[in-house]
Amino acid sequence: MRARILFLDVGNTLVRERTSRHELYAACARAHGLDVDAARARAAMVAAHRALPLVVDGAYRYGDAWFRSFIERVFCVDFGLPRGELAAVQDELFATFEDPATFELAAGARELVAALHARGLRTGIVSNWSARLPRLLDRLGFGACFEPLVCSALVGFEKPDPRIFALALERANVGAGEALHAGDDERNDSAAAHSGIHAILVGPPNGSAQPSTPRSGGPRGAPVARVDDLNALRAYILALR
């Protein structure tokens, strides 16, 4: 194939949290005098995620209004935070997840982008993430490296919905057969193949070590592959070209 663009997922593909979000929420709670550990935070966050609708006060999931409601449910309803402290907690958590120090780049991330750009292959983003993603990527030093940047909170639908891949193709002005999509999530990222995009899963399945195993014959005939990490992804894509 003659690929023209690689779309990348962000969370656990391009970047990873240095400290789990559950521990970050727990640490914030403890700073406000609440006895919360990471396990309790995780349970409260999972429950809030399941309980909230996709749209809150006009904001799609992971938009600011949605997250304010999410934080309110976790901290006030589950942790017992006084409501007078809620706004401060919301602002603290928004700042934490915009801070590049909260994240680390996956090994080989910068090398992947540089190598593909050197070969004339563009890079974009298709990610289920908050509306603050463009600012975070800029602070991580990626600037204008990714175009288009299709973020679920900003466009109003999320992977595995085929509309998010269709929008990415439209904004990139490429056909499905000219695009690749790489990410770590079996359900969300392999769904690119349903749109005719060559999908590449990054990392071992279910956390178990496996060799790189490219395969073909995904939905609509679009290839699906698996590689171990971003360095292997770089080699795989360059071999395609």
Q: What is the DSSP string of 66-104?
A: HHHHHHHIIIIIIS---GGGHHHHHHHHHHHHH-GGGEE
Query: For 133-147, b where at least 16 C-beta lie within 10 A, e where not — what string?
Result: beebbeebebeebbe
pLDDT bucket at 205, cuts 50 / 70 / 90: confident
Question: What's the rounded mean pLDDT across residues 196-219?
Answer: 63
Distance CA 192, CA 55 (A): 24
Residue 220: its pLDDT value, please? 52
Question: What's the rounded mean pLDDT across residues 174-193?
Answer: 97
Residue 208: its pLDDT value, please? 35
Closest CA to 143 of 123, 119, 171, 169: 123
Q: What is the pLDDT of residues 186-202, one digit of tens each?
A: 999 999 999 999 999 99
* Joined tokens for residue 175: 């056909």
Closest CA to 84 of 33, 25, 22, 21: 33
Closest CA to 191 of 221, 218, 172: 218
Residue ranges and CATH numbers for the domains of the chain are 5-17+104-240 (3.40.50.1000), 21-101 (1.10.150)
Q: What is the pLDDT of residues 88-108, one digit of tens each?
A: 999 999 999 999 999 999 999
| Type of residue found at 38 | A
Percent of the chain at pLDDT exceeding 90: 89
Q: 129 — phi, psi (to 5°)?
A: -155, 170
Q: What is the pLDDT of residues 6-40, one digit of tens each?
A: 999 999 999 999 999 999 999 999 999 999 999 99
Closest CA to 15 of 191, 141, 157, 180: 141
Q: What is the pLDDT of residues 142-167, one digit of tens each?
A: 989 999 999 999 999 999 999 999 99
Q: 14 — phi, psi (to 5°)?
A: -85, -40
Residue 222: its pLDDT value, please? 74
pTM of model > 0.85: yes
Query: How high is the mean pLDDT of the chain?
Result: 93
